Amino acid sequence: MSWLYALAFGVVLGVLGAYGVRRAVAACESANRADWGGKWLNRLDGLNRLFCRRYHRLRHRRVPLPARGPALVVANHVSGLDPLLMIAACRRPLRFIIAREQYERRWLTPLFRAIGCIPVERLANSRPALRAARRALEAGEVVALFPYGRIRLDHEPPARLKRGVLHLAAQTGAPIVPLRIDGVRGQGRTVSAVLMRSRARIRSHAPLRHPGRTPDALLDELAGALAPAAKSKTRRPPLKSRSTAPL
């Protein structure tokens, strides 16, 4: 009769497992806040929000995105965790502009494609990525990018923001919504930053609009918003040389 007990035990484990999966799916559906256009993507959105809120202890105020229409979300870039935190803080789907070498990671490409990421060549022509981002904005979507173009920590030497965000704002009229990310334990890391538990914080700023500001003034204001809180009210010193790369 031992086989019967084993079978009964297996059935009980299966039922408990199925019940646990259903509860987990229901929790993800309850936590979902943005409509990504598909049931499973929305569940992943909910799972990411739970992960960021409970594991990484993310705290933030509501990001001031328009309820509809185009917007550009930009942030400082300190780790590979940043995109997950930004998605968890926003109530609309974000289409990230990401480096092509990251986009083409074989096990991640299907997900990146499903959520509408836009690959960009770091050291080559960035115009195709700008065109794709402009089309997304013209279609009323939200595009997210890191205007430093790479992970950059506060203690590093001053760097100029890339100007692609200005071109996109000028061409589409989309407001720029700056986010400041702090409290990430794995700063400077990519994959391991996702695993190292943090006390993440996102500080959002009022949207910046292109009309009425010169490009340099807008870029300075954006740089101030992305700077640490102690420096955000101080005008960034000009650099002798400026990057001509738009992204």
Measured CA to CA, the distance from residue 87 to residue 11 in angstroms comes to 39
Residue 86: inside a domain, yes or no? Answer: yes
Q: Reply yes or no on whether the pLDDT at 240 is more than 50.
A: no
Residues 146 and 41 in one domain: no
Residues 73 and 158 in one domain: yes
Contact 86, 203 (CB under 8 A): no
Provide the token pair at 187.
Answer: 């700063």
Residues 206 and 149 in one domain: yes
The size of the chain, in residues, is 247
**pLDDT, the chain, mean:** 87
Residues 114 and 206 in one domain: yes
Indicate the number of domains in the chain. 2
Answering whether pTM is above 0.85, one says yes
Q: What is the pLDDT of residues 56-87, one digit of tens each?
A: 999 999 999 999 999 999 999 999 999 999 99
Residues 116 and 36 in one domain: no
Q: What is the pLDDT of residues 81-104, one digit of tens each?
A: 999 999 999 999 999 999 999 999
Domain that includes residue 127, residue range: 63-247
Helix (H, G, I), strand (E, B) or coil at 130: helix
